[in-house]
C-alpha cells in the first residue's frame, strides 16, 4: 500500500508531498503512520494518543477530508494525508490547536449557575448527550469555511459545547449573549462540520438551536438587521 504524506519542517525548509510504501498489513491510518515513523523516517511528526477515537489527538485530512487517523480504515492506495486546515502548522501533520481550544473559553461554554432545584431525567440527559460526546479533535474547524476566513469565529465545537450547557436543565443562567458576535449568526449552515464529525455531532443543528433560543431571549440576527435596517423590532 502507498501513502502520500504532506511533510513540513520549517527549520529545514522542507515542504513537500512524499510517497511512502507501507509493506506491512495495517488496519488503520494511524498504524500506517506509526509504521512509517518506526521503520522509514523517524522525523515524521503526527499526534496520537488513545488509538480508540476518544482523545481527539490524531485528526488529519485524508484525501481532503478531516478524519481521525486511528479510526480511518485504510483500503486502497493513493491516500493523501495532510494536516488539519485553518490552524497554524507546527510540523508535518501537527497543528497548533491553541486558538481552536480558546474558542470554548470565548464562548463561555461551561455551566454558569447551577439550578439546585432541577432534577435531570433520563429524557433530559438525552437532550445534550451527543453534544457531550465531543472529543475536541478539531476536524470541524478544519472543515469550517467561516473559521477559514474569520479567525474570531467561535466555530463548530465551541458552539456545540455552548448548546450542551444552554440545553442543560441544570443551567440557571444560559449564556447566549457571548454567542451573538462572531458566533451563531456568522455560520453559513453549510453543514461541512457535521459531515466530518467522528462523533456524529451536528454543530450546524446545534447552532440552529442556539439561534432559536437566542431569538426567544430577544436577540436577533445582526446581519439581517444590517441588511434590512430596523425591521427586526417589528417581529
Residues at the interface with other proteins (CB under 8 A): 9-12, 27-28, 37-39, 41-43, 45, 48-57, 71, 73, 90-91, 94, 97-98, 101, 104-105, 108-112, 114, 119-122, 124-125, 128-129, 132-136, 161, 164-165, 168, 170-171
Beta carbon of residue 46, minimum distance to other proteins (angstroms, whole number): 8
Closest to other proteins by CB, 42 vs 234, is 42
Q: How many CA atoms lie within 13 A of 146 on its CB side?
A: 19
Closest to other proteins by CB, 51 vs 65, is 51
Measured distance between the N- and C-terminal CA atoms of the chain, rounded to whole angstroms: 60
Beta carbon of residue 146, minimum distance to other proteins (angstroms, whole number): 22
Q: Could you tell me where the DSSP H helices lie in 107-155?
A: 122-127, 139-143, 145-149
Identify any residues that bridge with 94 across adjacent strands, giving them in sequence order: 91
Beta carbon of residue 114, minimum distance to other proteins (angstroms, whole number): 5
Closest to other proteins by CB, 80 vs 101, is 101
Q: What is the DSSP letter of 73?
A: B
Beta carbon of residue 61, minimum distance to other proteins (angstroms, whole number): 18
Q: Which grid coordinates are listed for 210?
A: 442556539
Question: Please, is 84 exposed, middle or buried when counting C-beta atoms within 10 Å of its C-beta (0-12, 13-18, 19+)?
Answer: buried
Beta carbon of residue 93, minimum distance to other proteins (angstroms, whole number): 11
Closest to other proteins by CB, 36 vs 185, is 36
Closest to other proteins by CB, 165 vs 185, is 165
Q: How many CA atoms lie within 13 A of 94 on its CB side?
A: 10
Three-state DSSP class for residue 181: coil
Amino acid at each position: 500500500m502507498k501513502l502520500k504524506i504532506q511533510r513540513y519542517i520549517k527549520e529545514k525548509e522542507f515542504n513537500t508531498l512524499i510517497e511512502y510504501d507501507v509493506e506491512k498489513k495495517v488496519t488503520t491510518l494511524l498504524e500506517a503512520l506509526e509504521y512509517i515513523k518506526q521503520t522509514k523516517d523517524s522525523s515524521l511528526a503526527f499526534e496520537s494518543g488513545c488509538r480508540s477515537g476518544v482523545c481527539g489527538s490524531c485528526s488529519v485530512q485524508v484525501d481532503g477530508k478531516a478524519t481521525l487517523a486511528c479510526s480511518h480504515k485504510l483500503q486502497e492506495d493513493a491516500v493523501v494525508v495532510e494536516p488539519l486546515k485553518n490552524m497554524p502548522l507546527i510540523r508535518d501533520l501537527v497543528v497548533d490547536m491553541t486558538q481552536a481550544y480558546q474558542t470554548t473559553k470565548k464562548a463561555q461554554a461551561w455551566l454558569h449557575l447551577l439550578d439546585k432545584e432541577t432534577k435531570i431525567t433520563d429524557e433530559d440527559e438525552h437532550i445534550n448527550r451527543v453534544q457531550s460526546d465531543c472529543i475536541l479533535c478539531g476536524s470541524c474547524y478544519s472543515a469550517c469555511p467561516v473559521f477559514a476566513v474569520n479567525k474570531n469565529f467561535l466555530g463548530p465545537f465551541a458552539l456545540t459545547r455552548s448548546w450542551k450547557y444552554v440545553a442543560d436543565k441544570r443551567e440557571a443562567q444560559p449564556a447566549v449573549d457571548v454567542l451573538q458576535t462572531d458566533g451563531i449568526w456568522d455560520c453559513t449552515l453549510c453543514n461541512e462540520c457535521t459531515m466530518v464529525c467522528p462523533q456524529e455531532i451536528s454543530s450546524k443543528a446545534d447552532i440552529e438551536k442556539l439561534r432559536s433560543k437566542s431569538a426567544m431571549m430577544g436577540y436577533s440576527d445582526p446581519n439581517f438587521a444590517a441588511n434590512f435596517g430596523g425591521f427586526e423590532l417589528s417581529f
